[in-house]
Amino acid sequence: MGRLDGKVALITGAAQGTGAEVARLFAAEGAAVVLGDVKVDQVGEVAAAIGDRAVAIELDVREPESWSAAVSAATVAFGAVDILVNNAAVLLLESLVATAKQDFLRLVEVNQLGPYLGIQAVFETMRDNGGGSIVNVVSTDGVKGMNGVSAYASTKWGLRGITKSASIELGRHRIRVNAVCPEAGNPNMSSEFLPGNPDLSDMPHQMMQSILAAPDDAEPGSRLRDVANMALFLASDESMSCTGGDFVVDAGLTVGQFQDFIPTT
Ligand SMILES: NC(=O)c1ccc[n+]([C@@H]2O[C@H](COP(=O)([O-])OP(=O)(O)OC[C@H]3O[C@@H](n4cnc5c(N)ncnc54)[C@H](O)[C@@H]3O)[C@@H](O)[C@H]2O)c1
């Protein structure tokens, strides 16, 4: 028996990285999955590899009409939308003083307005169906500060705010809204902003060893699977009492600092 048997999940930004991982895991746990992305060919390939319980659609999360079409397509294909994973986002690594207004607004449109419109778009079908689960993919940049991410972080802190307000408004309709705050994602999201476009495949693994040491044989992709597993828990009925929460998946990165000068065992 799958943990999402009988459920229909709409996942945004599913052409690659976290979204594709979530789609594969949800399908393996019995869900019918609708994969949305602006990268139409690529998301089609991911859906085709999953099989006939997966459908790919062109979805631009910035556009209300695009959302309406996506929810209609999901309903036509599988009868309802029980789960929405607001995963699509864009990154900018740039200092605060050098960030252009149009770049700031571009991030707000995709990362913050996009999930907002998504919640609006699925509301009716979830309410009429007796409830649902919405999982917003935030980031540890929505929990702590870091240089170079002022625009990105503002959208992710904003998404946590949306999560909390939405959970209060929608709880009476049995719609749960939670945030996953991962450190790990697709490492290539960052590499395009760094000198020489370095291969960062191992970066999440390295960054998170500061608090919780990774097993010696950990694969780079294992952190991404942890993120997908948290999304699975929040999407499933196993988390029926969870709403409005922030669920960090960061191997302790945001918990605090280890102070070397204090004697410890
Ligand atoms: N990469 C990281 O290190 C990292 C860390 C923490 C959190 N996250 C978060 O994880 C989530 C997934 O990111 P990822 O790491 O898989 O990166 P990614 O770049 O591989 O995936 C993002 C996806 O969103 C899609 N997308 C972009 N704009 C869109 C739009 N307007 N409409 C629809 N789709 C759009 C892209 O085409 C892409 O497929 C994001 O919310 C991101 O902020 C990433």
Sorted by where each begins, the domain ranges of the chain are 8-239
Give the Cα-Cα-Cα angle 249, 250, 252 (nearest 5 degrees): 120
Q: Which residues are catalytic?
A: 152
User: Which among 75, 70, 177, 79 has a CA at the least distance from the CA of 133?
Assistant: 177
Q: How many CA atoms lie within 13 A of 260 on its CB side?
A: 1
pTM of the model as a whole: 0.97
Ligand 1 proximity of 207 Cβ (cutoff 6 Å): no
CA of 260 to the centre of ligand 1 (A): 35
Ligand 1 proximity of 37 Cβ (cutoff 6 Å): yes
Ligand 1 proximity of 80 Cβ (cutoff 6 Å): no
Minimal-distance CA residue to ligand 1 atom 30: 60
Ligand 1 proximity of 87 Cβ (cutoff 6 Å): yes
Minimal-distance CA residue to ligand 1 atom 19: 189
Minimal-distance CA residue to ligand 1 atom 23: 13
Ligand 1 proximity of 200 Cβ (cutoff 6 Å): no
Instruction: Give every residue of the chain whose pLDDT is below 70, as ranges.
Output: 201-210, 220
Instruction: Describe the crossing of helices 114-128 and 64-78 by its angle, rounded to 10 degrees.
Output: 40
CA separation (Å) from 203 to 98, 128, 178, 190? 25, 43, 26, 10
pLDDT of residue 216: 74
20 close to 14: Cβ distance less than 8 angstroms: yes
CA of 87 to the centre of ligand 1 (A): 6
CA separation (Å) from 168 to 104, 231, 244? 28, 20, 7
pLDDT of residue 209: 60
pLDDT of residue 36: 98
pLDDT of residue 258: 86
pLDDT of residue 219: 75
Does residue 9 sit in helix, strand or coil?
strand
pLDDT of residue 188: 84
Domain covering 8-239 assigned CATH 3.20.20.70 in the classification: no
